[in-house]
Structure 1
Amino acid sequence: MMMIGLLMGAALAAAPAPAQAELPPPERRQELLFEAAKLGRIDLIPVLVQHGADVNAYEARGFTPLILAAYNGQTAAVDALMQAGADPCKPDASQGNTAQMGVAFKGDDAIAARLLKEKCDVNARNRAGQTALMMAALFGRTKQVEMLLAAGADASIADTNGRTAVAIAAVQGNDDVARMLGSK
């Protein structure tokens, strides 16, 4: 089903400006945008947006296309979505995680650096009070911890359970990160 949708999307991209009646319905165009973001199909993103897909919409699980692209390591799709107007600061609808938090979880340093250029609140918190720095500490993402600190992340913020990034790193056995954060 997904492949059929992508083929339909590819047809949209390759065809000369089709009549509105030849396009998939708006709901399907939106679904195609989510799929294109996950798969890094930068050829489809501008076409789908041009034909009404919303770059800041939420899919069924509460993720935006940008969060999906970032989480799935699709650097070019992250750029294409932001060029199309995607809000890099918009959290997911269910847990309040941002794209920056997602790449801290997954470990993609290039996308983390790209997102930091957007000047979102580096100390944004999800519903559990966690920050991107806490997630980077949790998973031992030393490079991202360095980048987040350089961007102004506050290592003294505690989540809803009272844990700071250094405490999270220490519990996980991420000693290098705990030492780095303990000196801040």
Structure 2
Amino acid sequence: MNDKLFDAIRNGDVEMVKAIITAHPELINIKDQRGSTPLLLATYYGNQDMAEAMLKHKPDLNAKDASGNTALMGVCFKGYAAIAKLLIDHGADVNAKNLNSATALIYAATFAQSEIAQLLIDNGADTGHVDEKGNTAYDHAKMQGAEKLMAILESK
């Protein structure tokens, strides 16, 4: 059943995912071979409808994949602002750290996602946090030449 669930997520089959999770709610936090939970994978693929369906079953919003990334981190580098807001509204930790000590804000800065960065900051993201290389979100924005994002981060 695990493979069927992950296949349905990868194929974007929202109705199949809903059916499986409803029949087997214990699967909401299982992990695939890469350490991704159903929610992490659905959000990574940008499937907001699927994520919303899963949230009704109270998944672990801060579960981490094999690299220590959360669903919120994944949507920050992919640029899925609406899903980032959905996850934050449901209680995702905006300051969770992965294995490189990167946060969702550092990912948003690295990929010049100004809207998501502002959302994270508005919800308590630590703008002064440094990753394992000693860089803050501002440093990452500067490396990308993301002037709008640099201005947002400078004002905090």
The two structures have a TM-score, normalised by structure 2, of 0.93
1:44 is paired with a residue of what secondary structure?
helix
Alignment-mate amino acid for residue 97 of structure 2 = R
Alignment-mate amino acid for residue 54 of structure 1 = L
Give runs of aligned pairs for residues 124-139 of structure 1, distance below 5 A: 124-139=96-111
> What are the ranges of 5 or more consecutive residues in structure 1 without an aligned counterpart?
1-28
Selected match of 2:75 from 87, 103, 113:
103
Equivalent position of 2:149 in the other structure: 177
Q: In structure 2, do the counterparts of structure 1 residues 39 and 84 end up closer, same or farther at CA, with 3 Å as the change threshold?
A: farther
The higher radius of gyration belongs to 1
Distance 1:155 1:135 in 2: 12
Tell me how far 1:42 sits from its aligned partner. 1.9
Equivalent position of 1:91 in the other structure: 64
Tell me how far 1:40 sits from its aligned partner. 2.9
Equivalent position of 1:68 in the other structure: 41
Give RMSD over aligned pairs.
Answer: 1.3
Which runs of structure 1 show a deviation greater than 3 angstroms over 4 or more consecutive aligned residues? none
Distance 2:41 2:11 in 1: 9
Percentage of identical aligned residues: 37
Contact kept, 8 Å, 2:141 with 2:147, in 1: the verdict is yes
> What are the ranges of 5 or more consecutive residues in structure 2 without an aligned counterpart?
none
Aligned length: 155
